[in-house]
Amino acid sequence: MNDNGSPPLFSLLDQSASSIAHRTDILFLAMLLLCGAMALVLAVLVIFFSVRYRAGARVDRSHPPSNARGLEATWTLAPLLLFMGIFVWAAHDSVAARRVPADALPVYVVGKQWMWKIQHADGRQEINELHLPVGQPIVLVLASQDVIHDFYVPAFRLKQDVVPGRYTHLSFTPTQVGDFRVLCSEYCGTEHAAMLGHVVVMSRTDYARWQDQAPLPGAATDGPTADDDSPQRLGQAIYQRLACASCHGADSSVHAPSLQGLYGSRATLEGGTRVVADDNYLREAIVAPKEHPVQGQPALMPSFASQLSEEDLQNLVAYLRSIGDRQASPSTALGAEVAR
Ligand code: CUA
């Protein structure tokens, strides 16, 4: 089914459950038909001429053409235009699929040998299961704790590498209620084939009911707070635990840059590179601060790589985002990253 409820014209798989699934299938069908037609024309001509002009065949060979510019131009330009058309079409769809809508709901995903750990914006956590409301634009912020994984949902026609040392993103809108397979699509060790999960897409009412039933992690234990375990709240606890404010605080004698309003702002690095303080930049600035020093700032900050797991880093970045530029949502900063 597509957006308006009618069955799709063509579907690669029996499930077609995201905003881009149908367009991807049509593009694939167009490529298949075009390449198939080209291969067929070439094969037929090769066989036809091989038989007709074989040695000893009694055919008229008296006036071989010495020049056929028009014909050559046609068989060169026609396929060129057709395949460039496919390229433009695919590039358009690919760019559109990477655009993150302003109202996209962020969900944090960490791949590790061999499971998917999910954290929702309200703090709810899941393993190998991702519950989402239908019709809601989503942006997955993906990180890996160890090796390269690949988050793959065939029913959504979506696949994104999950790479250690950086964040990648996947944006989509689930359009169909149901239970859809998540596969790891990058060989990542012994249990790679068992690194499976589910996306459970629910109606708005079912999703609200699920939210009521799924416990917040802090509710059962003595977490930082029992009532709010959102990523930014957990990130704030890490910020306090690591005493970041002793250098970055307003009354610190070290004069490290203030983190208030940093997210989404622009900075110039040593060497003149201009960067946007987005998820990836902030992650790098925490785990490898000496690699990319900001122009005019002494590179004093030590690396915190050994003290923070990928989930800690996601939470800390979520906290920095929450105290960042009020104009910059994850989507605008992600947009800036894509546009770079
Ligand atoms: Cu993770 Cu393959």
**Of 337 and 116, the one with more pLDDT:** 116
Q: Which atom of ligand 1 is nearest to the CA of 111?
A: 1
- Compute, in angstroms, the gap from residue 149 CA to the centroid of ligand 1: 4
Ligand 1 and 195: CB distance under 6 A: yes
What's the N-to-C CA distance of the chain in angstroms?
A: 35
User: Structure tokens of 259?
Assistant: 């983190």
Confidence of residue 249 (pLDDT cuts 50, 70, 90): confident
What the chain holds in terms of domains, given with CATH numbers, is: 105-213 (2.60.40.420), 241-339 (1.10.760.10)
Q: Which atom of ligand 1 is nearest to the CA of 187?
A: 2
- Decide if pLDDT at 338 tops 50: no
Q: Which of 6-20, 45-59, 74-88, 154-168 has the lowest mean pLDDT?
A: 6-20
Ligand 1 and 328: CB distance under 6 A: no
Own/partner contacts of 189-196, CB < 8 Å, gap of 24 or more, are: 189/113, 189/114, 189/147, 190/114, 191/113, 191/114, 192/114, 194/114, 195/111, 195/113, 195/114, 195/115, 195/116, 195/149, 196/128
pLDDT digits (tens, 9 = 90+) for 275-332: 888 888 888 888 888 787 787 777 778 788 888 888 888 888 888 888 876 555 554 4
> Within 10 A of 45 (CB to CB), how many other CB atoms are there?
10
Ligand 1 and 188: CB distance under 6 A: yes
- Compute, in angstroms, the gap from residue 248 CA to the centroid of ligand 1: 38
- Compute, in angstroms, the gap from residue 124 CA to the centroid of ligand 1: 23
- Compute, in angstroms, the gap from residue 116 CA to the centroid of ligand 1: 9
Contacts of 310 (CB under 8 A, 6+ apart): 110, 112, 143, 144, 145
- Decide if pLDDT at 57 tops 80: yes
Residue nearest to atom 1 of ligand 1 (CA): 149
Ligand 1 and 25: CB distance under 6 A: no
184-209 burial: b if 16+ Cβ within 10 Å, else e: bbbebeeebeebebbbbbbeeeebee
pTM of the model: 0.67
pLDDT at 336: 41
- Decide if pLDDT at 30 tops 80: yes
Ligand 1 and 313: CB distance under 6 A: no
In terms of average pLDDT, the best of 144-158, 222-236, 302-316 is: 144-158
User: Structure tokens of 44?
Assistant: 């037929």
